[in-house]
């Protein structure tokens, strides 16, 4: 890890992680210091006796020391609210995307 001067970094700043941790794939890294994580799920509908595919998109803070890119598989952790939409931060990069 490279040291960063981000006050919202869970390692180098004063942001604490708590609560849930989730795993997902980065589908967008266009916003500054933000990535969009997508999680795919299958749910069973008992009425129709079939499975359906669903997905959720979660905006998460991307500290400069981790710098997750599009296509990476990451672990995100719950934090306090950082902005209007962000309450998660990238905690660990599990697998880097192949360029």
Per CATH, the architecture of 21-95 is what? Beta Barrel (2.40)
- 34-45 and 73-78: which strand pairing? unpaired
Structure tokens at 97: 């995307």
Q: Model confidence over 18-70: pLDDT tens digits?
A: 999 999 999 999 999 999 999 999 999 999 999 999 999 999 999 999 999 99
Query: pTM for the whole thing?
Result: 0.87
What gap in Å lies between CA 37 and CA 29, rounded to an integer? Answer: 9
Cα 1 off chain centre by = 18
Structure tokens at 3: 């040291």
8 A C-beta contact, residue 32 and residue 86: no
């Amino acid at each position: 890890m490279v040291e960063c001067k981000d006050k919202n970094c869970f390692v180098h700043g004063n942001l604490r992680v708590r609560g849930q941790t989730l795993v997902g794939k980065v589908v967008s890294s266009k916003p500054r210091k933000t990535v969009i994580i997508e999680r795919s799920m299958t749910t069973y509908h008992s009425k129709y006796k079939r499975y359906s595919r669903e997905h959720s998109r979660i905006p998460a803070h991307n500290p400069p020391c981790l710098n997750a890119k599009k296509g990476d598989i990451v672990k995100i952790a719950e934090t306090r609210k950082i902005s209007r939409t962000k309450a998660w931060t990238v905690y660990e990069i599990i697998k880097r995307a192949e360029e």
